[in-house]
Homo-oligomer: A and B are copies of this chain.
Amino acid sequence: MGTKDGAPAGKRGPYAKSKQRREDIVNAAYGVFAARGYRGGSLQDVADKVGMSQTSLLHYFPSKSELLLAVLERRDSVSGDGRPRDPEDSFVDAVIRQARFNETVPGVIELYTVLCAESITDNHPGRGYFTERYERLRRSYSRAFTALAGEGRLRPGVDPERAAASLVALWDGIQTQWLLAPESIDMAGCLRDYLELLVLPDHLAGAAGAVSSGPSR
């Protein structure tokens, strides 16, 4: 545990190669599970893609479900969650920008959409991941909407928690439709429309009573 990332001069080589191999496998599995789902994609498919035998693959990951979890973890590091990268970036802009970026990486959307729904089925190893992800996302967006309300920029009557769940839902659902008919669906446009209904323009702020809610900018 102590000498995993440091790459000390004394012992180099095998660790780095093994780590690279693991990454290759996860990348291959990423594509296979995206195209065929977890149940539909086999270890043999992954092994073929990475150019090794199926048994060698199991030397790196003890089971198929462990490989899936590694793929899901990778997904998190590859793609953001529509949260602002820096404080200058507004919440709404961050969502739109993330949506536009997603259109350039259809494989990421495919993996997410296919595995998310599949995780609802019996004994699916990805279920915990998606349940927790949803809870975290809803909390995050709910806080963002509450903050906007504090600035007087949330449309009156909007409930932050339902709005958060709805934003996540709209995003997921529009991705599904986009995968089935990319030329008919404007993902970023739909999200923008929705957020513009919820969030009032900046220059109208201050009208609703909201004075102190932390540093405003």
Q: Which residues of A contact B (CB under 8 A)?
A: 35-37, 39-40, 110, 113-114, 116-122, 127, 130-131, 134-135, 138, 155, 158-159, 162-163, 165-166, 168-174, 176-177, 179-181, 184-186, 189-190, 193-194, 197-198
Contact = CB atoms under 8 A, between A and B. Distances in A.
Contacts of A176: 116-117, 120, 169, 172
B120 A118 contact: no
Given A170-B166, A198-B197, A180 B39 contact: no
Contact of A40 (B110, B121, B163, B166): B121
A174 B165 contact: yes
Contact of A131 (B168, B170, B180): B180
Contact of A169 (B134, B174, B198): B174
Given A174-B169, A180-B131, A193 B37 contact: no
Contact of A134 (B116, B127, B163, B177): B177
A186 to B, nearest CB: 6
A120 B131 contact: no
Contacts of A169: 169-174, 176-177, 190
A34 to B, nearest CB: 9
B117 A181 contact: no
Contacts of A181: 131, 134-135
A162 B35 contact: no
